[in-house]
Amino acid sequence: MATDEKELSLVLDDEQKMLQQTASEFFAEHSPVDRVRKLRDTKDAVGYSKALWKQMAELGFVGMNIPEADGGTGLGFFELALVLEEAGRRLSPEPFVSTVLLGAQAVLTAGSDAQRQAWRVGKALRQPLGRA
């Protein structure tokens, strides 16, 4: 194993427990299920809250699995999965999977240096990809 690789443990460490708790409390407070129903029933054109997305970005949720060199926090997919689990538990409609998991990873994996720079998390992910 390379020196910069971490061994995957299925037992949460203290930081991961704190992250999971923070995400759980955040989504419980800001994304109750009746919020999703209201968005559906009012046929909200956007389908999610831009203000809530901004709060998620400020908490670091949208840049978790993005390397620090690309403007993220450099955590891993395991930590991202903890936040996604809590978002899913509350049916949060924010475009987390399409932006953070799929869109950002496509740019990081296949993008040129110029594209990676243009889509830095601090600049682009504060607004979901494809919704600029």
- Dist. CA 15–CA 30, nearest whole Å: 22
Between 45 and 124, name the one with better pLDDT.
45
- Kindly state whether residue 130 falls inside one of the protein's structural domains: no
Whole-model pTM? 0.81
Return the CATH number at 54. Answer: 1.10.540.10
- Kindly state whether residue 27 falls inside one of the protein's structural domains: yes
- Kindly state whether residue 132 falls inside one of the protein's structural domains: no
The pLDDT of residue 11 is above 60: yes
Q: Which domain holds residue 68?
A: 15-125
- Kindly state whether residue 24 falls inside one of the protein's structural domains: yes
| Identity at 38, one-letter amino acid code | K
Q: Which residues contact 12 (CB under 8 A, 6 or more apart)?
A: 20, 82
The pLDDT of residue 28 is above 80: yes
- Give the pLDDT score at 1: 42
List, in sequence order, every beta strand (DSSP E) within 1-132: none
- Give the pLDDT score at 130: 52
- Kindly state whether residue 4 falls inside one of the protein's structural domains: no
* Per-residue pLDDT reduced to its tens digit, 32-76: 999 999 999 999 999 999 899 989 988 989 888 888 888 888 898
- Kindly state whether residue 8 falls inside one of the protein's structural domains: no
Q: Rounded mean pLDDT of 86-108?
A: 90
> In the predicted model, what is the mean pLDDT of the chain?
85
Q: How many domains does the chain have?
A: 1
List, in sequence order, every beta strand (DSSP E) within 22-120: none
Distance of CA 117 to the CA centre of its chain: 19
- Dist. CA 62–CA 109, nearest whole Å: 17
- Kindly state whether residue 65 falls inside one of the protein's structural domains: yes
- Kindly state whether residue 3 falls inside one of the protein's structural domains: no
